[in-house]
Structure 1
Amino acid sequence: MAGEQKFSETSVQLTEAAPQTVGSGFTAPGNIYSAILSRNEAVKDARCLKDFQELRDKYVRKKVLFEDPLFPAQDSSLFYSEKFPLKLEWKRPSDICSNPQFILGGANRTDICQGDLGDCWLLAAITCLTLNDIVLKRVVPHDQSFTENYADTYWTNPQFRLVLLEADTKEKTCTVVVALMQKDRRKERCSGAILHNIGFAIYEVPNEMKGNQQQLPKDFFIYNASTARCKSYANMREVTERFCLKPGEYVIIPSTFDPHKESEFLLRVFSENRSTSEVIDAEIEAESVMDDVKKKIKPFEEEETEEEKQFKAIFQQLAGDDMQINANELRTVLNRVVAKHKELKTEGFSLESCRSMIALMDTDGTGHLNLQEFKHLWNKIKKWKLVFTHFDTDKSSTISSFEMRNALTEAGFQLNNQLYDIICMRYANEHMEMDFDSYISCLVRLEGMFRAFRAFDKDGDGIIKLNVFEWLQLTMYA
């Protein structure tokens, strides 16, 4: 039977390459035997690791790029008994081009080209490997690329659960054909659209997650290799692969090779015998939404911090006798303090953001904030600021669409893919990046809407009923 699924693919910003460790500390020995001893000393770490996957996962966790102890980036790796005749500069693939690809469209013998090194014997052996795909994958594991932390490229993309119920007749495995097609790209060619490089990976669902409706988390992709995948990412209208998988539960994750590529896709799964497939999306929830209407805000502690004293002085200066501030005054207070955080590189909060903050924290319906409400707001902003700086991995004072998803999750909000797309359209710029002001505005709106929904959801069934007045009141003052 065949199952069809339509989805909007959301690509993510690839994680920044971890800093490369410079120099291996290897000194060219004086003779062949000492070279062997030196290299054996360097390879002790590699010997204790069983296979490629374990070695790769270790370096992903350490966030350093792997350097082969048996083939260090030094001239002695090429010529150990005489002076090297050429001047070489050692580079990683990403130093040569901006979008390096490990194997594209499969490997063949014409891909191997001899250069000035004269290593024809080695290259002849490598060429033979390309003639047998099974042997090639034993020597060169196929589940790798030049994307250092490949786990981050998958876990935020759509996940499709596939359950293979019956093996093929007289077989122990199930024949499955997976076809990923990108839609409407040719129709949009007149507006500059081109075909994306698309592909997919298949992961077996672990026993503890079988039968549930939860997405595979990020850590799963760090410590588990894919069960199967398309041979390469290709800029074709459709990528199709045939697999033989044992009966069980799997997750298919489609994606583009490049970040920030969004389009409509069609994923089709064909199997000889019974199977089921469905989209697995995150359950919408907020973990730490404070209900300030029901919770009494604690007053300032007897021993105020220096920051609280500064805030209190500015607040009293602007608030006047009623000790309350409006949106303009709130903007002045916040921007004076935020300006001291040079690492944010922000121009400060907009007036619209400050209006939303007052709507969130205004517990008495005055349209103003008192000192205690203001303190509680600032504590939230400080917590959200820590999350922002943590996920601003490139220190640009912006977070990408990918980093935004992680940041919202860390802040306590679990959303589905459609909501993430809406948030990107509403709060990100044309480069799919969100600055600090937009980020805080997004969190303020999310918390306010979650809180309002829970206030109306009296019986906790996840459904509310509003009349037009309640709806307008809820949406207009937010």
Structure 2
Amino acid sequence: RLCGLVAGHGYCVTGVKLCKVNTPWLTHVQLLRLRNPWGDGHEWRGAWSDDSEEWRLVPKEDKLRLRLQAADDGEFWMTFQAFKENFEEVYITSLNPHTLNKEALEHLYTLADVVTHVLHHPEEKRQQQQDKLTRRKLWEVVKYDGSWVRKVTAGGAPNDLRLFSSNPQYLLHLKEADDEAMEGGTCTVVISLTQKHRRVNNLPLLQVAVSVYQMEDGEAVTTPLHVSWFRLNRPLLLTKFVRTRTVTRRLHLPPGRYIIIPCTHSPDQEGDFLLRVFCQKSATMKEHDESPMLVDTHLEMGDKVDSRSTREESSSSCIQKDDFLAAAGEDGRMTAAILQNILNFLFSGELEFSLDLTRSLLAMMDRNFSGNVDFYEFDTLVCCLRRWMAVYKRKSEAETGLISGSVWGLGDALRELGYLLPRRLQALLVVRFGDQEGNISLRDFIMATCRISVML
């Protein structure tokens, strides 16, 4: 920090200049303009810094063209020699390959010249290399934003395949080989995994990696892939787990289908990520996950079913129609307040129904938007509640009595009830209804299932 630079910190190169100087021993100096992303006073304090004496050697008109100003804005100039002495690594990047048009490539090449000292190369060699760059074919890019959510999609490394299979899965389809490839050739693929929002939230970087599996042509697989599939298939690629913002790998793969799995080193490590795949030929990528749907269930919401004639278990627990009508209003229907009292009586010792939960259940059954329920809607609701509670009891953990928000807890429970949800929606349910440990109480499970029933 004596020179003003922050150790281990990244700076952006925002400009380069071969600047004239008025000295008898030197006519030009190679300068780079850098910027500290912090945008504050952590700037270079050496030669050619904002207030250094060296700027007196530069003609006034040149300083105007450089827009030189002394301000604590994080931007400063330094010589190329000082740059080489103080920095160890240089990354030349772009937003995506589509930005690499001819003009962008010319700018990229000029920057590479300065960084790699190509200014001393002959002009004809420089032109040859520049022409080679501009002839490159633009790449195609597909990208997805995703998240690792505790108990749901943060499965960790493949040393535990059961947990690993819960990580986000992406299906990549490479349809044709590169133009330069021979018959039966390969596709050039660049996979990039970037951690998001870590610095802005003052969070340390996670140890992350990318795993790639190949799927056989015509292979029938589950969506998403289950642990049994991973036990029978080995990955084509598993990058090292590194604590860096971006992990990038370049591969040459034959046309076909591939599963890409971004993962953290340990389970239950939460974070957001950006997954990008660059290809020379067009490719498709999608989340390899279930689509939201309601499969054939034992009892559908809103069907006016007299459960006393179809389920002996339910009929013994439901009140009789005459008792219902006695408690209901003159129109033979129950409001939310009356329904709350009846449900608390029927499920005494199992669950206490709040007015908010009761209103949600009533809205689920109230298909004609009357604001209340009749006897058959009430009877159907009670049977559904008993079924939901039975599933919850089977899937809850013995130690806590709560259901886990994991794929094997909440996911299996919803699947048994006939609700197929992608894991990203399961993750939202855990965030909305789960506690700090990612577990869901019976009351919240009933509320979540009610919301799903209305949605589907």
**Higher strand fraction: Structure 1 or Structure 2?**
2
| Aligned match of 1:379 | 383
Q: Deviations over 1:432-470 (max 9, x none)?
A: 3322111111221221233xxxxxxxxxxxxxxxxxxxx
Alignment of 1:144-183 (within 5 A): 145=159, 147=160, 150-155=161-166, 157-163=168-174, 165-166=176-177, 169=181, 172-183=185-196
Q: How many residues align?
A: 309
Alignment of 1:290-301 (within 5 A): 295-298=303-306, 300-301=308-309
Q: Give % identity.
A: 22
Q: Deviations over 1:178-222 (max 9, x none)?
A: 221102212221xxx221232222122243358x9x844326635
Aligned-partner residue type, residue 255 of structure 2: P
**What SS is found at the alignment partner of 2:198?**
coil
Determine if the alignment matches structure 1 residue 7 to structure 2 residue 145. Answer: yes
Aligned-partner residue type, residue 377 of structure 1: L
Say whether the 8 Å CA contact 1:179–1:269 is kept in structure 2.
yes
| Aligned match of 1:239 | 247
| Aligned match of 1:201 | 211
Q: How far apart are the structure 2 equivalents of 1:284 and 1:421?
A: 13
| C-alpha distance 381-257 of structure 1, shift in aligned 2 (>3 A) | farther
Aligned-partner residue type, residue 188 of structure 1: N
Determine if the alignment matches structure 1 residue 429 to structure 2 residue 441. Answer: no
Alignment of 1:213-252 (within 5 A): 215-218=223-226, 221-252=229-260
Q: How far apart are the structure 2 equivalents of 1:12 and 1:425?
A: 9
**What SS is found at the alignment partner of 1:349?**
coil
| C-alpha distance 425-220 of structure 1, shift in aligned 2 (>3 A) | same
Q: How far apart are the structure 2 equivalents of 1:321 and 1:338?
A: 19
- Structure 2 residue aligned with 1:415, among 404, 415, 421? 421
Say whether the 8 Å CA contact 1:12–1:153 is kept in structure 2.
no
Q: Which moved more, 1:356-365 or 1:280-289?
A: 280-289
**What SS is found at the alignment partner of 2:191?**
strand
Q: How far apart are the structure 1 equivalents of 2:367 and 2:441?
A: 28
| Aligned match of 2:343 | 334
**What SS is found at the alignment partner of 1:300?**
helix
Q: How far apart are the structure 2 equivalents of 1:264 and 1:371?
A: 47
| Aligned match of 1:441 | 447
Give 1:380 shift. 1.5
| C-alpha distance 386-319 of structure 1, shift in aligned 2 (>3 A) | same
Give 1:324 shift. 4.6
Q: How far apart are the structure 2 equivalents of 1:175 and 1:303?
A: 60
Say whether the 8 Å CA contact 1:335–1:348 is kept in structure 2.
yes
| Aligned match of 2:201 | 188
Give 1:336 shift. 4.4
Aligned-partner residue type, residue 334 of structure 1: L
Give 1:235 shift. 2.8
Q: Deviations over 1:219-249 (max 9, x none)?
A: 6635432432324333321223344433311
What residue ranges of structure 1 are gaps of 5+ in the alignment? 16-98, 102-143, 342-346, 451-478
Give 1:335 shift. 3.8
| C-alpha distance 350-10 of structure 1, shift in aligned 2 (>3 A) | farther
**Higher helix fraction: Structure 1 or Structure 2?**
1
Give 1:368 shift. 3.1
Aligned-partner residue type, residue 239 of structure 1: V
Alignment of 1:38-437 (within 5 A): 145=159, 147=160, 150-155=161-166, 157-163=168-174, 165-166=176-177, 169=181, 172-189=185-202, 193-208=203-218, 215-218=223-226, 221-271=229-279, 273-280=280-287, 281-288=289-296, 295-298=303-306, 300-301=308-309, 304-305=312-313, 308-312=315-319, 316=323, 320=327, 322=329, 324-340=333-349, 348-363=352-367, 365-393=369-397, 395-396=399-400, 397-402=402-407, 403-416=409-422, 418-437=424-443
Say whether the 8 Å CA contact 2:207–2:243 is kept in structure 1.
yes
Q: How far apart are the structure 1 equivalents of 2:189 and 2:317?
A: 65
Aligned-partner residue type, residue 443 of structure 1: T
**What SS is found at the alignment partner of 1:369?**
coil
Under a length normalisation based on structure 2, what TM-score does the superposition of the two structures give?
Answer: 0.56
CA RMSD of aligned residues (A): 3.9
| C-alpha distance 447-321 of structure 1, shift in aligned 2 (>3 A) | closer
Q: How far apart are the structure 1 equivalents of 2:366 and 2:300?
A: 12
Q: How far apart are the structure 1 equivalents of 2:357 and 2:429?
A: 15
Say whether the 8 Å CA contact 1:315–1:371 is kept in structure 2.
no
What residue ranges of structure 2 are gaps of 5+ in the alignment? 1-138
Give 1:363 shift. 4.6
Q: How far apart are the structure 2 equivalents of 1:288 and 1:209?
A: 26
The higher relative CO (CA closer than 8 Å, separation ≥ 6) is in 1
Q: Deviations over 1:117-173 (max 9, x none)?
A: xxxxxxxxxxxxxxxxxxxxxxxxxxx51x2xx144334624242426216735855
| C-alpha distance 233-349 of structure 1, shift in aligned 2 (>3 A) | farther
Give 1:303 shift. 9.1
Aligned-partner residue type, residue 169 of structure 1: A
Aligned-partner residue type, residue 159 of structure 1: Y
Q: How far apart are the structure 2 equivalents of 1:429 and 1:277?
A: 37
**What SS is found at the alignment partner of 2:309?**
coil
Q: How far apart are the structure 2 equivalents of 1:366 and 1:299?
A: 22
Q: How far apart are the structure 2 equivalents of 1:421 and 1:441?
A: 16
Structure with greater Cα Rg: 2
